[in-house]
């Protein structure tokens, strides 16, 4: 019986494949066999036995491991028994399976391989997202629109500036992801309390060999489990990333509102917007991104709680992390895909963008007039008050702002009508917007050129 929506509604095949139960079990078997290989290198057992066992171990099924677990009530011991069972004719292998290690040596190291493969996928997708955003920023850098603060008309900006702002956040997430690798992708072969006592002086060397085979780093020190602050950092990263994706989706939703209608999610030919209102074209993908981002951020606190363990460890983290790591990862991957989908097909309504820019008769250009008055000798605070009063008059008397400016003796003492007309043109008051957009686009190109992916 399928219960969780991740099984049938959310998540990509490649990410769910990494975090599936079958993958988890196979990776733990892989860690056990890699340990045997390292032990063989140090003379514990013949190398030929290990090579034979590695081929045999590929035939172990998750179903068999689960069958043993139902009987003995311990997942890793079930794994050990399954390996020993299938490798009983592999010479010395059954004797040395799981030698010197504890359950979380296998679990945490297997999880590290999942994280390693996950980060590769996330990095590729985030670079793709940055490229899409940068392309849109470049294409729309001169599409002037009404800026809004507090939901009210503000200075003019451009759509390219909005896309560039979002791009900058994605660039920082890529940087964080790359910086995090060194701390996150660690495994351990440390024994019951972390002291590697079963291996004596060979402990560090054996651990290093295992991690080298697995393309991981050994944890510099750990108890029975790898310290969970690294998992906290990972979940916090996912939460932070999900917030940026929700920010993008929220603003698309706002800009698609009927009163604004400047952008539009793709709406396919046979798509239905409402079961009862046939006219509806809802931003459902952006809404899904927002909803799932909130679920992802909800995992931050449980993961922090899972870092607080008794002495060398207890088991309170185990059950929580089986949910946290899988769901947070699969859902973040899902909403990255959805954000890429939305932005790839996002439509801009240029007529509505222009309409909204001009809807307030340029009252949003009051700062431009104030700044020019200050340059011409009026104290900045006095200029602010003059413009505030003119704006209120324009609002309350429904007088076009430009006419209210021209009718003001205080304004006419410093500016003629032609100067007023030029000062309220949005294209004349964009500051360094275009330069900043171009700088972000350059940063994305540099990222692409320097990327090893």
Dist CA 94 CA 289 (whole Å): 49
Query: Is 274 designated active site?
Result: yes
The Cα 402–Cα 387 span in angstroms is 11
List the catalytic residue out of 150, 275, 450, 452: 150
- Region at 12 (left for phi over 0; alpha for psi -120 to 50; beta for the rest): beta
State how far the Cα of 147 lies from the Cα of 278, in Å rounded to an integer: 32
Q: Which secondary-structure segment (H or E) carries 149?
A: strand 144-149
Q: Of these residues, 274, 307, 344, 451, which one is catalytic? A: 274
Backbone angles phi, psi at 25, to 5 degrees: -65, -45
Is 150 annotated as catalytic?
Answer: yes
d(CA 264, CA 92): 65
Determine contact, residues 289/338, Cβ cutoff 8 Å.
yes
Question: Which residues are 56's β-sheet partners?
Answer: none
DSSP letter at 276?
Answer: S
3-state SS assignment for residue 70: helix
Pairwise CA distance, residues 53 & 47, whole Å: 10
Residue 121 contacts by C-beta under 8 Å, 6 or more apart in sequence? 14, 15, 18, 333
Task: List active site positions.
Answer: 150, 274
């Amino acid at each position: 019986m399928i219960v969780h929506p991740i099984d049938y509604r959310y998540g990509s095949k490649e990410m769910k494949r990494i975090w599936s139960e079958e993958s988890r079990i196979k990776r733990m078997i892989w860690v056990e066999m890699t340990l045997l290989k390292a032990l063989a290198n140090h003379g514990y057992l013949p190398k030929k036995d290990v090579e034979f066992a590695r081929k045999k171990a590929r035939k172990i099924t998750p179903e068999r491991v689960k069958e043993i677990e139902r009987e003995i009530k311990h997942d890793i011991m079930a794994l050990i028994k399954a390996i020993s069972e299938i490798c009983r004719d592999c010479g010395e292998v059954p004797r040395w399976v799981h030698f010197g290690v504890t359950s979380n040596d296998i679990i945490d190291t297997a999880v590290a391989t999942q994280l390693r493969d996950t980060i590769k996928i996330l990095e590729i997708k985030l670079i793709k997202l940055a490229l899409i955003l940068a392309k849109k920023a470049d294409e729309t850098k001169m599409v002037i629109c009404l800026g809004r603060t507090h939901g009210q008309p503000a200075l003019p900006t451009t759509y390219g500036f909005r896309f560039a702002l979002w791009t900058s956040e994605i660039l920082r997430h890529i940087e964080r992801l790359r910086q995090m690798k060194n701390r996150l992708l660690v495994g351990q072969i440390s024994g019951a309390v972390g002291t590697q006592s079963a291996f004596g002086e060979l402990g560090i060397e054996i651990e290093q060999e295992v991690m080298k085979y697995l393309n991981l780093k050994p944890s510099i020190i750990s108890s029975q489990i790898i310290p969970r602050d690294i998992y906290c950092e990972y979940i916090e990263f996912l939460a932070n990333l999900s917030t940026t994706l929700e920010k993008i989706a929220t603003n698309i939703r706002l800009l698609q509102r009927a009163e604004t209608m400047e952008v539009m999610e793709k709406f396919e030919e046979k798509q239905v917007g409402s079961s009862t209102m046939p006219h509806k074209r809802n931003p459902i993908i952006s809404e899904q991104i927002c909803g799932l981002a909130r679920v992802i951020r909800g995992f931050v606190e449980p993961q922090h709680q899972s870092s607080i363990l008794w002495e060398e460890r207890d088991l309170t983290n185990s059950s929580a992390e089986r949910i946290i790591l899988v769901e947070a990862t699969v859902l973040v991957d899902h909403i990255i895909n959805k954000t890429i989908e939305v932005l790839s097909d996002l439509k801009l309504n240029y007529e509505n963008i222009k309409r909204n820019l001009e809807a307030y008769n340029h009252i949003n250009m009051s700062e431009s007039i104030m700044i020019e008055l200050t340059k011409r000798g009026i104290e900045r605070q006095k200029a602010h008050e003059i413009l505030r009063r003119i704006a209120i008059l324009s609002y309350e008397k429904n007088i076009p702002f430009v006419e209210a400016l021209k009718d003001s003796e205080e304004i006419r003492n410093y500016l003629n009508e032609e100067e007023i007309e030029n000062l309220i043109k949005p294209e004349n008051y964009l500051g360094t917007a275009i330069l900043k957009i171009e700088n972000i686009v350059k940063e994305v190109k540099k990222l692409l050129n320097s990327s090893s992916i």
